[in-house]
Amino acid sequence: MKTVKDYIRTIVDFPHEGILFRDVTTLFSDPRGFRMAVDQMLHPYAGKRIDKVVGLEARGFILGGAIAHQLGTGFVPIRKKGKLPGSTISQQYTLEYGEAIMELHDDVIEAGEMILLVDDLLATGGTAEAGILLVERLGGQIISCNFIIDLPELGGRKKLENMGMDVHVLCQFNDV
């Protein structure tokens, strides 16, 4: 029987030489694989209050939308700088290949709302940390951070857990 990890392909030397890129588009394109991933990402939260699902750009939108639909909650995108219209708050962060800025509309999360943060991959944790900080600035409470893949050698899980976050992943790749 296939696992989620079996649907993920590895692309060598992308986006830079020496990188093993974990491509989830092969998982998303397979109906059984995609359903398996979404169902497994939902499982830990059965019976828990979740007011909104926050997805990190870009593959977190695909997962977050599907998970929010299944939970019957709202979906909130956190995007790269300049992609959201209207009034936003922003957070600079460091990622594997440099620095960037993420933004969130300043009126999409109410104080006290319980938030599930979702993305496809946890590497250094910089993107997720930026998302957490944005949600918390609006008064949202992150109940958990949920990913398909963890790359433990890059330390992202440890970073998020040191922030007091619950972290759930479906699989990990130890060779980066």
Instruction: State CA 41 to chain mean position distance.
Output: 11
Domain residue ranges in the chain: 48-172
Residue 162: which H helix or E strand, with range?
Answer: helix 156-162
Render pLDDT for 106-152 as a digit per residue (tens, 0 to 9). Answer: 999 999 999 999 999 999 999 999 999 999 999 999 999 999 999 99
Comparing 94 with 4, the larger pLDDT belongs to 4
| pLDDT for residue 96 | 64
User: Taking Cα atoms as reference points, which of 133, 134, 126 lies closest to residue 151?
Assistant: 126
CA 81, 84, 89: angle at the middle one, nearest 5?
A: 65
**Averaged over 27-50, what is the pLDDT?**
97
Render pLDDT for 15-28 as a digit per residue (tens, 0 to 9). Answer: 889 999 999 999 99
CATH topology of domain 48-172: Rossmann fold (3.40.50)
Q: What is the 3-state secondary structure (H, E, C) of 65-88?
A: HHHHHHHCCEEEEEEECCCCCCCE
Buried/exposed code over 54-78 (b: 16+ C-beta within 10 A; e: otherwise): bbbbebbbbbbbbbbeebebebbbb
| pLDDT for residue 101 | 97
Annotated active-site positions, please? 59, 96
User: Model's pTM, two decimal places?
Assistant: 0.96
Which amino acid would we find at residue 11? I
Render pLDDT for 80-108 as a digit per residue (tens, 0 to 9). Answer: 999 999 999 999 998 766 799 999 999 99
Does residue 41 surpass a pLDDT of 80?
Answer: yes
**Averaged over 50-63, what is the pLDDT?**
98
Pairing of strands 114-122, 98-105: unpaired
Round to whole Å and give the CA distance between 17 and 14: 6
List own/partner pairs for 87-90 with CB under 8 A and 24 or more apart: 89/134, 89/137, 89/138, 90/134
Kindly state the tokens that stand for 76. Answer: 């909130």
